[in-house]
Structure 1
Amino acid sequence: MDSSPASAPPPHPVPATAPPQPPGPAFAFAPSPVHASRSRRLAAPLGALAAVAGAFAYVGAIDPNEPGHYPVCPLLKITGVFCPGCGGLRSAYAFVHGDLAAAFSSNALAVVGYVLFAAVWVAWTVRAWRGRPPRIALGPVHWWGVGALLLAFTVARNLPFGSALAP
């Protein structure tokens, strides 16, 4: 008998299918999504701008200083206390008509909000144009700061020394 190692049967049968693969990661990532076209990336910021412009156009066309067009603030009606939003519609109306002094006297915080929205919208649009996702990372400290600012504004506009902040 021939005892050469070439004719000896293998100790374990090897399947005749695909060759063995090297060990890979325990999980696999899905293929990266196809980059959306520029017009598709700009759809959300432009849609948001259209909605805000439509709201400002409506408020600019229908004067909130005339009674009966808009509902009364429920907090003001029930308690007589100005909320942080009281005077916001009058502020938006004055802002649309270019009267910044009247806009600030109606609700100064709202005017700051309009400018802040414009800055965030521009950053969002530029990032969308460049193909990057929008990023605004606000932590709990920031949100507590916003809440404290709103509370301080509300308290100040309801006290005698802050009457300039009242609508």
Structure 2
Amino acid sequence: MTQQPTAPARSSERPPQTRGQRLVAPLVTIGALGATTVALHVRDPHSQGSWGFCPSAAMGFWCPGCGGLRAVNDLTNGHLVDAASSNLAFIVALPFLVAGLALWTVDRWRGHQRQVSMTTVSRVAVTVIALMALFTVLRNLSGSWLAP
């Protein structure tokens, strides 16, 4: 039995990223969210037409995101109750969104890559979709206090 010569191994792996390279995506995301928040504070979405129009609201249907811009504006002015009145789902989700963004940033800082199973991703996605569907139905009921 003769041995076949082996070809030299090709390097298909990228060189490791520096901390600065790893932080680009989270920092750009944080910067964009910060700029959007400032824009929503400066240009009040409570004024009709200040940010265009919402197609679903124009059709008489409140989507899960309706009132989200007003909620951000209310939060930047320190009006938590008004923000909850604009979009309660956004206010409930906000701490989870901030925690997820912080976790992503810290993981990238440390060079840690979190492994999340597809089962977990699927369960969370189905739960979020079901809750948003329920929220949409409830806020579109006649006289609902969840309407923006």
* TM-score (normalised: structure 1): 0.75
2:119 counterpart of 1:155: no
- Give the residue type in structure 2 aligned to 1:99: H
Change in 2 beyond 3 A, CA 1:29/1:70: same
Partner of 1:145: 127
C-alpha distance in 2 between matches for 1:69 and 1:114 = 24
**Residue 29 of structure 1: CA displacement?**
7.1
What does the per-residue CA deviation read over 1:59-99, in whole Å, with 9 as the maximum and x for residues that have no partner? 11100111221122211212x12111111111010011221
Change in 2 beyond 3 A, CA 1:33/1:166: same
Q: 1:108 aligns with which of 74, 78, 88?
A: 88
Partner of 1:8: none
2:87 counterpart of 1:119: no
Q: 2:55 aligns with which of 74, 77, 81?
A: 74
Q: CA RMSD in A?
A: 2.5
Q: 1:30 aligns with which of 6, 11, 15?
A: 11
2:35 counterpart of 1:54: yes
C-alpha distance in 2 between matches for 1:70 and 1:139 = 33
Alignment of 1:38-49 (within 5 A): 38-49=19-30
SS at structure 2 position matched to 1:139: helix
May I ask how many residue pairs the two structures share in their alignment? 144
Greater RCO (CA < 8 Å, at least 6 residues apart):
2
